[in-house]
Amino acid sequence: MEVVPISIAAIAALLSVVATYLAVRSRDMLAAVVFSAVQSTAYALIYYVLMAPDIVLVYIPVSVGILPAVAVLLIKKTERYES
């Protein structure tokens, strides 16, 4: 593989690790949903670099559009802050 795509994948992977850590540690559930969406965006970039465009097309709407929407609905019906 060439250097440029694999370094894009490496940077996206690092970003996803940081976003995952912040999502797990966050006490504010709404912020955790946003961090989780950031992590999904980084994963979508990795899938694209690894030549899986079919997965990218289903991963973006589900993980950035529908899943955060359902999670936000769930937070609205329960509690926003983890005690």
Residues that bind other proteins (CB under 8 A): 6, 10, 13-14, 17-18, 21-22, 25, 53-54, 56-58, 61-62, 65-66, 69-70, 73-74
Q: How far is the CB of 18 from other proteins (least distance, A)?
A: 6
**Whole-angstrom Cα distance, residue 14 to residue 60?**
19
Other beta carbons within 10 Å of 64: 16
Q: Pick between residue 77 and residue 83 the one whose CB is nearest to other proteins.
A: 77
Q: How far is the CB of 14 from other proteins (least distance, A)?
A: 5
Q: Pick between residue 54 and residue 83 the one whose CB is nearest to other proteins.
A: 54
Q: Coil, strand, or helix at residue 31?
A: helix
Q: How far is the CB of 63 from other proteins (least distance, A)?
A: 10
Contact 29, 73 (CB under 8 A): no
Angle (CA) 60-62-65 rounded to 5° is 80
